[in-house]
Chain A
Amino acid sequence: MCNSDSPNEFAQKLDNYIDSLPNKKENLIAILHYAQEIYGWLPDNVQWHIAQKLDIPSAKVYGVVSFYSYFTMKPRGEHVVNVCMGTACFVRGAEKLKNELENQLKIKAGETTPDNLFTLETLRCVGACGLAPVMIVDGEVHGKMHEPQEINEVLAKYRPEG
């Protein structure tokens, strides 16, 4: 995420990206990925803008965004914590891990902490089954997350010092 940029710069970056694509309409999902990367989420006005730019109905964009769990229409925190709920993680205690994270962060999966530091989400198999259960923070995989103390230590790495 590029939090130092202003919304105008985001819009410019997004437009440049869309303009660089040869087949715009066919690349809706790639465009949405890119937009979520720079904005951190997909607000209505960004979806609307993409629809105008691609000359497709905004309902279609909204439909695609609502279909894929990766896309989010709620602002996310600075760090995104994902719990893998795939089969291997599930049998090795993903549910317990999720509950522990909900306890420690004092939010439910799908929510963001009031200080905007963490968003907790779940996803399906990330292919790290040997390390099950895993949590992924900002793309970095942390395996064998059984103990509350270990989980706390991982989260601490992402908290500002002091």
Chain B
Amino acid sequence: MDIHLTINDIPLTVPEGTTILEAARTINIDIPTLCHMKLHEMHYNNNIASCRVCVVEIEGRRNLASSCSTPVMEGMVVKTDSLRAIQARRAMVELLLSDHPKSCLTCAKNMDCDLRKLAAELGVRAISYEGVESEFEIDQSSSSIVRDPNKCIRCRRCETMCNEVQTVGVYSAMGRGFETVIKTAFDLPLSQTACTFCGQCLAVCPTGALTEVDQVDKVWKALNDPNQFVVVQTAPAVRVALGEEFGMEPGSIVTGKMVASLRRLGFNRVFDTDFAADLTIMEEASELVHRIQHGGRLPLLTSCCPAWVKFFEHQFPDLLDIPSTCKSPHQMMGSLIKSYYAKTLGIDPKSITVVSVMPCVAKKYEAARPELAQSAETADVDIVITTRELARMVREASIHFDHLKDEEFDHPLGESTGAAIIFGTTGGVLEAALRTAYEMLTGEALEKVEFEALRGMNGIKEAVIPIAGKDYRIAVIHGLGNARTVLEKIRAGESDYDVIEIMACPGGCIGGGGQPYHHGNMEILKSRAAAIYREDRAKPLRKSHENLAIVALYKDYLGEPYGERAHKLLHTSYTARRKI
């Protein structure tokens, strides 16, 4: 049914059930919001109306109404810009600021903070409320995420993300009234919970309450250590998002500028995680063939995503035998740099620092996992920084990013195909695997390399792909809540998939917790995904097994895919963990 109302004297008609906020936006009237966040494609709706910033005046009602949660009604007369509404909004922000640290100048979220931006937009010039300020301990227990509850405004965006989208349930509101705070169970440090470090909580946190563990200074130190040979690698999703940090349009591809900037920063070699993505396809496809031929357990689940890995270790410890044993691509790369490449250069692996630039905060935790190392002293990957942290390094070094001339990755670990770049978005790993598996199993060339059914933002995508007379049932999943749904079916024996790709973050790595903040705009993620597919199309080679550097690596060093040396360097094992 259609509802007729006026907003700021403008008549409009909207469907029943529309909120005042949504209705106003249809006629280009914006109402400021803070706690409210709706990410349609992720089925994420934080609609608790706790901040009261979006209040509006409704004729005939005594109290102001929160526009994010009040549905329109027939004949409603709404004023979004009355003096009373504006003053109330300003008072709300002042009240929030009265219990907020005044350390904005040095806050990690500084220029990305929704609260700071709102205070500026609403013209808050002084805080007239002097009150008690909360004093909470800062949780720096994990390698990935820093929690500073003093900066928390109790908007519950993180809680909604963790509970409803990811179904990890690490956060909950504790206590009541002024003392309410978003905490972990039993106030445990994050490192002792079932947190997967996917970082989606900090991707939606409006303030500096949740941020990544900052590793920038560690990288600067390594770059300035004359005894260290510093090698950097970049994940596929970084090059389609980094440009946003320098004011470029979402979806800008900045591969060449990114490589150039890394050289300016002083890295000795600039390698591409895409090389290792091609390698992952060789190993994972061989593992699948091995399982099929030797009656191994199916489905095979991909293991590129460290947050997904930690999720199944905590939530499905009885299913540890189904994920692929492949290390994630950047860990494979680290392992190769510290073994094969160190040998090629004749350098002691201990003098090599491997830095990974990732769209992800879970990769920081992953790199610190003790089993992902050459030895107790030599980790595969030494330091992980996010896309955001790299952008900051570029700014710290005063490099004019947009003026850089494009440069190429170094050889041989910088060679890659289109199959590797698509690892950066949901569906990409399986599409890449199919391009290779098809040719491995049929011996024929695959003409059409695009698998459209695996693309797009649907949380669970399914397809049946016939190869060499057999139908392969495959699924592509992103978001851990969707993964739980499918894993529960597998546990109950109700699934007949052969292969499943799972990524923790909605959209895959393009929507990772370490990417430039999207501030609730899902179009940004779609632009990044489109850029990934553009980059794939532009590559002369689009199948992993055609990567000549990979062919040479197996011939000269690794031996057979899924063979003995490959096992030692490129595969790993999993640990059952407690659900808490």
Verify B176–A67 contact, CB threshold 8 A. Answer: yes
List, in ascending order, chain A residues with CB within 8 A of B518's CB: none
Verify A63–B172 contact, CB threshold 8 A. Answer: yes
Verify A59–B579 contact, CB threshold 8 A. Answer: no
- Let me know if A13 is at the binding interface, CB within 8 A: no
Interface core residue of B163, B172, B176 (most chain A CB under 10 Å): B172
Q: Which of A44-52, A104-112, A118-126, A149-157 contacts B (4 or more CB under 8 A)?
A: A44-52
Residue of B nearest to A58 (CB): B185
Q: Hey, what's the 0/1 contact readout for A61-83 against B, CB within 8 Å counting as 1?
A: 11100110000000000000000
Verify A62–B174 contact, CB threshold 8 A. Answer: yes
When the two chains form the complex, which single residue of B169, B174, B184, B580 contacts A48, counting CB atoms closer than 8 Å? B580
Known contacts A56-B169, A58-B580, A66 near B185 by CB under 8 Å? no
Known contacts A44-B186, A58-B185, A63 near B580 by CB under 8 Å? no
B152 → chain A closest CB, angstroms: 14
Q: Hey, what's the 0/1 contact readout for B171-191 against A, CB within 8 Å counting as 1?
A: 111111000000111100000
Alpha-carbon separation in the docked complex, A52 to B185 (Å): 13
- Let me know if B170 is at the binding interface, CB within 8 A: yes
Q: Is the interface of A mostly helix, strand, loop or mixed?
A: helix
Alpha-carbon separation in the docked complex, A63 to B176 (Å): 10
Q: Hey, what's the 0/1 contact readout for B553-580 against A, CB within 8 Å counting as 1?
A: 0000000000000000000000000011
Interface core residue of B171, B174, B185 (most chain A CB under 10 Å): B185
List, in ascending order, chain A residues with CB within 8 A of B176's CB: 66-67
Verify A57–B169 contact, CB threshold 8 A. Answer: yes
List, in ascending order, chain A residues with CB within 8 A of B163's CB: 57, 60
Verify A52–B579 contact, CB threshold 8 A. Answer: yes
Known contacts A52-B579, A57-B163, A47 near B170 by CB under 8 Å? no
Residue of B nearest to A61 (CB): B185
Verify B185–A57 contact, CB threshold 8 A. Answer: yes
Verify B175–A59 contact, CB threshold 8 A. Answer: no
Residue of A nearest to B169 (CB): A57
List, in ascending order, chain B residues with CB within 8 A of A59's CB: 169-172, 183-185, 193
B491 → chain A closest CB, angstroms: 12
List, in ascending order, chain A residues with CB within 8 A of B170's CB: 57, 59
Residue of A nearest to B194 (CB): A57
Q: Hey, what's the 0/1 contact readout for B154-180 against A, CB within 8 Å counting as 1?
A: 000000000100001111111110000
Alpha-carbon separation in the docked complex, A62 to B188 (Å): 11
Known contacts A57-B163, A58-B185, A59-B185, A66 near B175 by CB under 8 Å? yes
Interface core residue of A51, A56, A57 (most chain B CB under 10 Å): A57
Verify A47–B186 contact, CB threshold 8 A. Answer: yes
Residue of A nearest to B181 (CB): A66
Alpha-carbon separation in the docked complex, A52 to B169 (Å): 13
When the two chains form the complex, which single residue of A44, A47, A60, A66 contacts B169, counting CB atoms closer than 8 Å? A60
List, in ascending order, chain A residues with CB within 8 A of B186's CB: 44, 47-48, 58, 62
Alpha-carbon separation in the docked complex, A63 to B579 (Å): 17
Verify B169–A63 contact, CB threshold 8 A. Answer: no
Alpha-carbon separation in the docked complex, A56 to B170 (Å): 11
List, in ascending order, chain B residues with CB within 8 A of A47's CB: 185-186
Alpha-carbon separation in the docked complex, A58 to B315 (Å): 13
Alpha-carbon separation in the docked complex, A58 to B428 (Å): 35
List, in ascending order, chain B residues with CB within 8 A of A60's CB: 163, 169, 172
Verify B185–A48 contact, CB threshold 8 A. Answer: yes
Mind listing 9 A-B residue pairs with CB under 8 Å? Answer: A52-B579, A57-B169, A57-B170, A58-B186, A58-B579, A59-B193, A60-B172, A63-B183, A66-B176
Chain A to chain B: the 6 pairs with minimum beta-carbon distance, closest first: A57-B169, A63-B172, A58-B185, A59-B172, A59-B185, A66-B174
Q: A47-B185, A57-B168, A63-B172 are in contact. List 20 more A-B contacts (CB 8 A).
A: A47-B186, A48-B185, A48-B580, A56-B169, A57-B163, A57-B172, A58-B185, A58-B579, A59-B172, A59-B184, A59-B185, A60-B169, A62-B174, A62-B183, A63-B173, A63-B183, A66-B174, A67-B173, A67-B174, A67-B176
